[in-house]
Structure 1
Amino acid sequence: MKAIVYDRPRHFELAELPVPEPGQGEVLVKVLVAGVCGTDAHLHEGEFGPTYPLTPGHEVSGVIAAVGAGVSTPAVGDRVVFDNTASCGRCPECRRGRPAFCHHILAQGVNAPGGFAEYVLTDADRCFVVSDLDPEVAVFAEPVACVVHGLDVLAMQPGDRVLLFGAGPTGLVLAQLLRASGAGDVTVAAPTQAKLDLAAARGADHVVLIERSDPWSSGDRLRAVAGDGFDVVIDATGSVGVLDQTISLLRVGGTMLVYGMAAENARWSIPPYEVFRRELVIKGSFAQQFAFDRSLAALRGGRVDTSGMITHRFDLEHYADALAAVADSSCIKAVIVPTSATAATGTTEERGDS
């Protein structure tokens, strides 16, 4: 089978590997669609704890090609998504109900083989059958699960006024679930008008175009929306330039949620006196925990509408182009379609019929 394989940061090849055979309790998944996200860009740079050799890809929608001993469900032919993480269940963090921080975590696409390949092995008990969902909808299960966990961490109050920086795939999912979770008012700020238009169509109450090179220039327009400040400010960009203005936009007692992934060596200047004087709260959201079932419920029930969000499709041979697309403002969501007969090498408009 073909697979993307890294042997060190920034160095990968399209390798030919044996198709793995499922063992006890395992299933072999033929990858139909695999999402490319900002985490993959960080992994490309050697951040986020990669283990080599590495096949990345943690957002996977596929079909069961074979099952190992002891597996009764899912069955061959079922379309599935799977939780890419497996925790030990015994370490201190697992015993406190925080499996994403397991001391021995296995994370497919990070320290174990992931989905930028034609086939991937995973545990049967981490699979969710999604034969009722289009594979290009099901591939959003993992990122939506991460958003669900982020909202768990946020613990937003009904009626809160929310400012969200970022209108990429995560921002668009956040905007929809914030509204569905009881936000009184949602403002989305981003530097790309087409993405803001999509956010507005998905239910954002206000959209504000900001300058990518100078986020501070939008401060007055954002304050005009909120008056005395926002109850919640969420950064889904990972940009320090954006983070630097978030504290000033919070109202007394407000909450800042750091959702976007910044570079590991990035530093954010937080005014401690403001946190103290105005009793501000700063939270972080790392990765999904106990959220796949709710993610799929949101996708099935239409609370999250992914139509129009996949803008770029690539085959494995064009993986480098897929990485580049993630940083392109014209791209909302890029995916890998490993089977060359159904894959495209560019935007939605360039995609061939499958």
Structure 2
Amino acid sequence: MPTTVKGVIARAKGAPVEIVDVIVPDPGPGEAVVDVQSCGVCHTDYHYQQGGISDDFPFLLGHEAAGVVSAVGEGVTDVAVGDFVILNWRAVCGQCRACLRGKPWYCFNTHNAKQKMTLTDGTELSPALGIGAFIEKTLVAAGQCTKVDPSVRPEAAGLLGCGVMAGLGAAINTGNVGRGDSVAVIGLGGVGMAAVVGSRLAGAAKIIAVDKDPRKLELATSMGATDTIDATSADVVEAIQGLTDGHGADVVIDAVGIPATYKQAFYARDLAGTVVLVGVPTPEMTLELPLLDVFGRGGALKSSWYGDCLPSRDFPMLVDLYQQGRLDLDAFVSETIKLDQIEDAFAKMKTGDVLRSVVTL
């Protein structure tokens, strides 16, 4: 039978979020219902509320989540009732040209649950990133559930579902950071801070953290940065070059995603170095670079989609590193909150007071 639970929606552009009754249907073929235990408050949820993603209101917010599978539909074999899972927003199809070429992290046909969760009056909800996890139970495609060790702390594990994975993957998967490399990370929100941590895990010798907020620069040092640059008082390109013997960094990660920071990343890398764009631009942004500079500097200009992760491969590995004490996911959890505190969490996120507020249910 369908279940009625409490969830958080954005009903209209810019309107305050609301806690409402949501009807969650029984899972159909290939679907699963998950009892949500934790869900991080991500910038993407705020962008949904502000109409920056689409105008398909009302949105069921939340996507950076972990929980326990409580029901599965016909044909589901990869997860079972009782499994502790991290939710992901790129359930790969296994059949598209990317999957068949052995690169499923580029899957061109990722999918979500076919059924819709609704309000009690029948209004269909658009789940954020196909998940919608500011809710007691959510309906997802079974492929969006990645089983991991159930002993992991849910508040920490759920963050792998989006921001932390995006940053770690930008360094490790997309940037191919290796032992002895120099790395610069521009922008120290949750994604940028995770890129710092990922660079440290990969063995980078020099990790340069760039931001305008001294609190974030201090935190980045505690999380593995070897050097910091205050972007309010220094020329970022010159400062990065000065810290790398005048050459520039081997890999520069733009975790902001605006033309100005991308240009900084482009010119702050070494010849034949790599630029990774993981910050998400808005539709109206454009970029102009001299084509001769693009040609003459060589190297690679890459975009990182979800950290180019494969959840079934990466989530269990990262949980294992967390349990070994080699990946401090707890450091990303600034506070735990309840469903009725999400507006406050948005405010703290905008002022840089938190890396992640995490809703616990």
- 1:89-104 alignment runs, 5 A limit: 89-96=94-101, 97-98=103-104, 100-103=106-109
- Separation in structure 2 between the aligned mates of residue 89 and residue 219 of structure 1, nearest angstrom: 42
User: Does the alignment pair 1:242 with 2:242?
Assistant: no
User: Counterparts of 1:23 and 1:205 in 2: how far apart (Å)?
Assistant: 50
Cα distance in 2 between the residues matched to 1:127 and 1:246: 33
Over residues 50-109 of structure 1, what are the superposed CA-to-partner deviations in whole Å (9 max), with x where a residue is unaligned? 744431322111123344456677554443212233344444454443565524633894
SS at match of 2:331: coil
Q: Deviation per CA, 1:318-339: give whole Å up to 9, x if none.
A: 32222222212111112223x3
- The Cα of 1:314 is off from its aligned counterpart by 3.1
In structure 2, the CA distance between the partners of 1:251 and 1:171, relative to structure 1 (3 Å rule), is same
94-103 or 38-47, larger mean C-alpha shift: 94-103
2:45 to 40, 44, 54: 40
Contact 2:40 2:158 survives alignment (8 Å): yes
SS in 1 for 2:353: coil
Match of residue 145, structure 1, among 165, 183, 187? 165
Aligned residue pairs, count: 335
The reply to whether residue 20 of structure 1 matches residue 25 of structure 2 is yes
Q: Hey, what's the Cα distance between the residues in 2 that align with 1:49 and 1:86?
A: 21
Compute the displacement of 1:248 (Å): 2.2
Q: Residues 201 and 247 of structure 1: is their aligned pair in 2 closer, same or farther, counting only changes over 3 Å?
A: same
The one-letter amino acid of 1:244's match is K
Partner of 1:231: 250
Q: Is 2:131 the partner of 1:110?
A: no
Q: Which moved more, 1:314-323 or 1:171-180?
A: 314-323
Q: One-letter code of the match for 2:335?
A: H
Correspondence for 2:357: 334
1:187-206 to 2 correspondence within 5 Å?
Answer: 187-206=208-227
Contact 2:209 2:227 in 1 (8 A): yes
Distance 1:121 1:311 in 2: 27
Letter in structure 1 aligned against 2:199: L
Pick aligned residue for 2:200 from 171, 179, 199 = 179
Question: Partners of 2:314 and 2:130 in 1: how far apart?
Answer: 25
Q: TM-score, normalised by structure 2?
A: 0.81
Shift of 1:133: 0.2
Distance 2:235 2:186 in 1: 14
Report the equivalent of 1:345.
none
Identical residues among aligned pairs (%): 27
Residues 93, 42 of structure 1: alpha-carbon distance in 2 compared, 3 angstrom cutoff? farther
Aligned residues of 2:72 and 2:80 also touching (Cα < 8 A):
yes
Q: Secondary structure at the match of 1:106?
A: coil
Cα distance in 2 for partners of 1:259, 1:77 equals 34
Structure 2 residue aligned with 1:346: none
Deviation at residue 148 of structure 1 after TM alignment:
4.7
Q: Deviations over 1:244-275 (max 9, x none)?
A: 32222122112111111122212233232222
5+ residue gaps, structure 1:
340-354
Letter in 2 for 1:296: P
3-state SS, counterpart of residue 262 of structure 2: helix
State the TM-score, normalizing by the size of structure 1.
0.82
**Amino acid in the other structure paired with 1:242:** T
Q: Which residue of 1 aligns with 2:14?
A: 10
**Contact preservation (8 Å) 2:88, 2:311:** no
Cα distance in 2 for partners of 1:228, 1:261 equals: 27
CA 1:70–1:98: 2 relative to 1, 3 Å: closer
Give yes or no for the alignment of 1:277 onto 2:296.
Answer: yes
Q: Distance in 1 between matches of 2:155 and 2:181?
A: 32
Change in 2 beyond 3 A, CA 1:51/1:128: farther
CA displacement at 1:164 relative to structure 2: 0.8
CA distance in 2, matches of 1:292, 1:304: 18
Query: Could you say which residue in structure 2 is the equivalent of 1:59?
Result: 64
Distance apart, 1:127 and its partner CA: 3.1
SS in 1 for 2:151: coil
User: Is residue 221 of structure 1 aligned with residue 225 of structure 2?
Assistant: no
- The root-mean-square deviation of aligned C-alpha atoms, in Å, is 2.9
The runs of 5 or more residues in structure 2 that have no matched partner are 114-125
Relative to structure 1, the CA distance from residue 241 to residue 313 in structure 2 (aligned partners, 3 Å threshold; closer, same or farther) is: farther
- Mapped to 2, the partners of 1:160 and 1:111 lie a distance apart of 34
